[in-house]
Amino acid sequence: EYDGERNSEGERHGRGKARLPNGDTYDGEYEHGFRSGQGTYRFRNGACYTGEYLQNEKHGQGIFFYPDGSKYEGDWVNDQRHGYGKYTYANGDTYTGEWFNNNRHGQGTYVYKDTGSKYVGGWVNGNQEGEAELIHLNHRFKGKFLNGNPVGHGKYIFDIGCEQHGEYIQSEQDKGGEEEEEEPSLLVAPKWRASEITKLTLWTPHGENPPSPREASLPSLHEVSSEVFRPAGDAGEEDEESREEEENKDQEDEGEE
């Protein structure tokens, strides 16, 4: 099961290869019987980790390839994604930024492959939250987010040379005179209410004022509330990957002598 160096006490120490009873394999460095240093651990389910270990735990820099084709490359602490790293999801989306206890947490950028849009800003426990910018092909939104949705005051910045200011409000305020009992709209995205349109303030070439865009040329600004804000659609995948990691961790523990 183990082929490699040992110290005077007979402990695995130095470079070695091990095949665990569950079918996993490890090829790398040991210290006093523990996987410590650089190594590659291959799981029987197809997952693979290449990077630094400390006392049998992923710790330091490393790359984890998941069975579904996704991968994480970055910092690890005590077997968890923690620090700074890039996660490439199975659908091609990517997140690059800060991590805390396996969750996206801090400042980071999420890029949606199917649309090319990207979210740049704050994250809390895996969710889009805090000051951020959501950048689309020909416009962007700058404001605050909570649980993956925009909230409160913000502004849309259009490439044609104008900004639309307004705020996102909860749809409960739009009930009107309806008497029917409505279900709690916790899952209903906030609606955009525009307040004013201004020229871009930064575009002043040669001291001239920017041309004033005609209302007719504005891209349906009153319909901007139809813009789709979807939170990172990988939460379920990440939960599943976390479970896989837990299973993999159990396999590592069971298989180690």
Domain boundary among 55, 83, 111: 83
Task: Output the pLDDT for position 247.
Answer: 53
Phi, psi of 161 (to 5 degrees): 110, 30
Q: Do 66 and 98 lie in a common domain? A: no
255 located within any domain:
no
Structure token digits, residue 252: 């590592």
251 located within any domain:
no
Structure token digits, residue 204: 């002043």
* Count of structural domains, the chain: 2
218 located within any domain:
no
182 located within any domain:
no
In one-letter notation, the amino acid at residue 41 is: Y
245 located within any domain:
no
Task: Output the pLDDT for position 188.
Answer: 73
**In the block, which residue shows the tokens 């649980």?**
147
Q: Do 107 and 76 lie in a common domain? A: no
Task: Output the pLDDT for position 96.
Answer: 98
Q: How many CA atoms lie within 13 A of 164 on its CB side?
A: 22
In the chain, what is the greatest distance between 2 CA atoms, to the nearest angstrom? 84
Q: Do 164 and 135 lie in a common domain? A: yes
Helix, strand, coil in percent for the chain, rounding step 5: 15, 50, 35
Q: Which pairs from 206-209 meet CB under 8 Å and 24+ separation?
A: none
Q: Do 43 and 125 lie in a common domain? A: no
Q: Do 79 and 160 lie in a common domain? A: no
216 located within any domain:
no
Indicate the helix (H) or strand (E) that contains 220.
none
Q: Do 106 and 196 lie in a common domain? A: yes
Q: Do 96 and 197 lie in a common domain? A: yes
The CATH number for 70's domain is 2.20.110.10
Q: Please state, in angstroms and rounded to a whole number, the distance separating the CA atoms of residues 156 and 250.
A: 48
pLDDT tens digit at each of 257 positions of the chain: 899 999 999 999 999 999 999 999 999 999 999 999 999 999 999 999 999 999 999 999 999 999 999 999 999 999 999 999 999 999 999 999 999 999 999 999 999 999 999 999 999 999 999 999 999 999 999 999 999 999 999 999 999 889 999 999 976 544 444 444 444 445 577 899 998 888 876 555 555 454 444 433 444 444 444 444 444 444 444 444 444 555 555 455 444 44
Residue 120: give the domain boundaries.
91-171+190-201
**In the block, which residue shows the tokens 């650089």?**
38
Question: What DSSP designation does 205 have?
Answer: G
Contacts of 239 (CB under 8 A, 6+ apart): none
Domain boundary among 32, 52, 83: 83
pTM of this prediction exceeds 0.85: no
